[in-house]
């Protein structure tokens, strides 16, 4: 008997009809005799609706994070209650738990909470009683009993964290795609589904803009070695297995995928004194404001000054620019400039380790399309570039072709 954790996203439970289809799927799975924990998101569009209400009532004042979390957590609670009702109608013994009932203990960072610990005693008792457990994703509770949320895509993290805590045999993420693709098929119709991908590659893909899995869920899965599989909610198929290490793929392709992110913004502080500690003086206040910095470039010093450029999420652009303006005054820098019309494109693959010239091949493909590169960042298995947003789809298509991802071959992990 295996223990499986399954997660169904918002589109999978977007209507009562779809909830019924999910219940049918769970009932068939349960009939096989395995233990099952199910994590669900809010119904499609519900979180956006609730955020809209909060903004409408708050006006120009940002909603209080505590109350916002309290409200947003209700979306998943509706889903779990409806799903358990559907399961019971089908004769399946089931019980629903919200995050605070499990409990899933988090820190107190409202809207971006991190899971610290999961109490599994109740869950194991319910599993021993033969019940399907349906848990609300995206949410938890801090040590003071305050409801918290994990950020967008947090239900993936909930599912993987539960699988780790319960030592599940597999965590299955059901969504509206049938696996992980070499890139977004809506941008490149020839994109191929991957049979498997390493945790390391998936982590880079998620961090560079792939929306299939939330990055923290991949981090959890890799850290606790939770077998992870991405599947389509309503179409049977093998999906994509996220493997423990690259040795599972004997003929690993050079590049496994092309990731991209439109939600980028760039800020430059020019005329900065080129002295020790200046980078911390600039980025320290940004970090203190809980704003994540991605790519960083510092130019060569001229006349004792330099330019310092970095990227942030587009939602954080205004806040970061305000902080940077204050830093500029403190450092007597020349000016602060910024733009939101950029995008990031990344090539990802563990095969880079044994193949030279991957970056130059990428740059050549972009040069052929007359696409200018504004920033470059590299790691052992990833090369990322910042370009003008208007060239994003052209760049992705060009790179997909350049690295021979358009069609599968005998050495590719795509099928």
pLDDT tens for each residue of 212-232: 887 888 888 888 999 999 999
Q: Which of 146-160, 297-311, 369-383 shows the lowest mean pLDDT across its residues?
A: 297-311
Residue 122 is labelled as binding a ligand: no
pLDDT at 302 (0 to 100): 77
State yes or no: pLDDT of 333 exceeds 50. Answer: yes
Residue 181 is labelled as binding a ligand: yes
User: How much is the mean pLDDT over the chain?
Assistant: 92
pLDDT at 265 (0 to 100): 97
Residue 151 is labelled as binding a ligand: no
- Looking at the chain, the whole-number percentage of residues with pLDDT higher than 70 is 96
Cα angle for residues 87, 91, 93 (degrees, 5° grid) = 65
Has residue 270 been placed in a domain?
A: no
pLDDT at 349 (0 to 100): 93
Residue 7 is labelled as binding a ligand: yes
Cα angle for residues 125, 127, 129 (degrees, 5° grid) = 75
Has residue 42 been placed in a domain?
A: yes
Residue 212 is labelled as binding a ligand: yes
Residue 314 is labelled as binding a ligand: no
Residue 284 is labelled as binding a ligand: no
Residue 370: band (very low, low, confident or very high) from pLDDT cuts 50, 70, 90: very high
Residue 412: band (very low, low, confident or very high) from pLDDT cuts 50, 70, 90: very low
Tell me the Cα Rg of the chain: 23
pLDDT tens-place string over residues 50-107: 999 999 999 999 999 999 999 999 999 999 999 999 999 999 999 999 999 999 999 9
State yes or no: pLDDT of 246 exceeds 70. Answer: no
pLDDT at 403 (0 to 100): 95
Has residue 53 been placed in a domain?
A: yes
- Spatial separation of the C-alpha atoms in residues 335 and 317, rounded to whole Å: 16
Has residue 311 been placed in a domain?
A: no
Residue 390 is labelled as binding a ligand: no
- Owning domain of residue 146: 3-176
CB atoms near residue 237 (< 10 Å):
11
pLDDT at 252 (0 to 100): 58
Has residue 45 been placed in a domain?
A: yes
Residue 322 is labelled as binding a ligand: no
Has residue 123 been placed in a domain?
A: yes
pLDDT tens-place string over residues 94-129: 999 999 999 999 999 999 999 999 999 999 999 999
Has residue 271 been placed in a domain?
A: no
Has residue 16 been placed in a domain?
A: yes
Tally the domains of the chain: 1
Residue 247: band (very low, low, confident or very high) from pLDDT cuts 50, 70, 90: low
Half-sphere exposure at residue 116, Cβ-oriented, CA atoms within 13 angstroms: 12
- Spatial separation of the C-alpha atoms in residues 268 and 321, rounded to whole Å: 9
Residue 344 is labelled as binding a ligand: no
pLDDT at 215 (0 to 100): 82
pTM metric for this prediction? 0.80
CATH of the domain at 108: 3.40.1160.10
- Spatial separation of the C-alpha atoms in residues 390 and 83, rounded to whole Å: 42
8 token code pair? 């169904």
- Looking at the chain, the whole-number percentage of residues with pLDDT higher than 90 is 82
């Amino acid at each position: 008997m295996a223990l499986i954790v399954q997660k169904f996203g918002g589109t999978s439970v977007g209507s009562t009809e779809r909830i019924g289809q999910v219940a049918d799927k769970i009932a068939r799975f349960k009939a096989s005799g395995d233990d099952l924990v199910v994590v669900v998101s809010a119904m499609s569009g519900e979180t956006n609706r609730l955020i809209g209400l909060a903004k409408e009532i708050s006006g120009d004042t940002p909603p209080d994070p505590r109350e916002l979390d309290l409200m947003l957590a209700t979306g998943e609670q509706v889903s779990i209650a409806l799903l358990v009702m559907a399961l019971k109608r089908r004769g399946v013994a089931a019980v629903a738990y919200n995050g605070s009932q499990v409990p899933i203990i988090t820190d107190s960072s409202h809207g971006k909470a991190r899971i610290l610990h999961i109490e599994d005693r109740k869950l194991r008792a319910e599993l021993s009683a033969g019940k399907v457990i349906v848990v609300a994703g995206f949410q938890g509770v801090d040590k003071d009993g305050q409801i918290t949320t994990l950020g967008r895509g947090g239900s993936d993290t909930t599912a993987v964290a539960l699988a780790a805590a319960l030592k599940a045999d597999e965590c299955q993420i059901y969504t509206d795609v049938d696996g992980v693709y070499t890139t977004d098929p809506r941008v490149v119709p020839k994109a191929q589904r991957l049979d498997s991908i390493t945790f390391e590659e998936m982590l880079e893909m998620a961090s560079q803009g792939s929306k299939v899995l939330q990055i923290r869920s991949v981090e959890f899965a890799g850290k606790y070695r939770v077998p992870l599989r991405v599947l389509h909610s309503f179409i049977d198929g093998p999906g994509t297995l996220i493997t423990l290490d690259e040795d599972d793929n004997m003929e690993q392709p050079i590049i496994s995928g092309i990731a991209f992110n439109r939600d980028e913004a760039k800020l430059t502080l020019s005329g900065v004194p080129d002295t020790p500690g200046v980078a911390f003086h600039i980025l320290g206040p940004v970090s203190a404001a809980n704003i994540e910095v991605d790519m960083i470039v510092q130019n060569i010093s001229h006349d004792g000054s330099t330019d310092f450029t970095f990227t942030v999420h587009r939602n954080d652009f205004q806040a970061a620019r305000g902080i940077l303006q204050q830093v500029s005054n403190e450092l007597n820098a020349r000016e602060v400039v910024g733009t939101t019309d950029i995008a990031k494109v990344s090539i990802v693959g563990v095969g880079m380790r044994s193949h030279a010239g991957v970056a130059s091949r990428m740059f050549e493909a972009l040069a052929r399309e007359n696409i200018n590169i504004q920033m470059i960042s590299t790691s052992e298995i990833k090369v990322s570039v910042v370009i003008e947003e208007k060239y994003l789809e052209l760049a992705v298509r060009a790179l997909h072709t350049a690295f021979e991802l358009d069609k599968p071959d005998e050495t590719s992990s795509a099928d």
